[in-house]
Amino acid sequence: MLNSLISFSSIIETSIDFRTYLICTAVSLILGILTAVITMFKNRCSQSFAVTLAILPAAVQTVIMLVNGNIGAGVAVAGAFSLVRFRSAPGNAREIGAIFSAMAIGLATGMGYVTLAVVFFAVTAAFTLILSALNFGETKGSLRSLKVTIPENLDYDGIFDDLFAKYTAKAELDRVKTTNMGTMFELDYSIELKSEEVPKEFLDEIRVRNGNLNITCGRRAEKEAL
């Protein structure tokens, strides 16, 4: 078994004994906890997601061990997994990537490739920390979501173009919908401000133009910016 741990070969030879199961489970839990810690670096996630991410590799590993070499059991487990529905709030892309990484660790340890699982975690964790520290892929400027309500008698096409040219680096109309029994329009814009803060003059000039109706300006959620 020692030679298997040093190399990239599986530590499972024929049948699964209790010692082998404990080794694989311990590695899965340790790597799962470390994966949760890496995911929380410069990223907000709930406690339930962190706990789930910590135990996911061990759960996947146990399933793989149970269906190893049994085609019928494998098909049954795949059918059971297809019935699973996530009831929690949608996660961002980084959380989805963490789930795939945890499942890959569980698959590796479930097949006995403990060393390979450790090497995979070390590589992905290092790249995640480096790219996060370098703010890789971060949007420059200040991306915001702007919602403006205007009366139905106003033509919304290009109504704020001069204000956007003055206060924003980029502005795009994403959606138009009617509100208040069709007497008003709600305009949903994606804007990138020239400064980090929302200028009060910008909102005041919009209020003058839309008759002091509702205006909402806030940071766009990450899942909306994908």
Same domain, 24 and 105: yes
Same domain, 129 and 177: no
Same domain, 80 and 175: no
Residue 79's pLDDT is 60
Query: pTM of the prediction?
Result: 0.64
Same domain, 129 and 213: no
d(CA 192, CA 219): 10
Measured torsion, CA atoms of residues 155, 156, 157, 160, in degrees rounded to the nearest 10:
120
Residue 194's pLDDT is 84
What is the helix (H) or strand (E) element at residue 47, kind and residue range?
Answer: helix 47-67
Nearest to 12 by CA among 30, 23, 106, 55: 23
Gap between the terminal Cα atoms of the chain: 45
d(CA 67, CA 89): 31
Same domain, 149 and 128: no
pLDDT lower than 70: segments of the chain: 1-10, 12-14, 69-91, 137-142, 220-226
Spatial neighbors of 156 by CB under 8 A, at least 6 apart, are 150, 173, 176, 185, 187
Same domain, 105 and 123: yes
Supply the range of the domain harboring residue 23. 2-133
Same domain, 33 and 103: yes
Same domain, 91 and 187: no
Nearest to 137 by CA among 55, 71, 210, 43: 43
Same domain, 24 and 87: yes
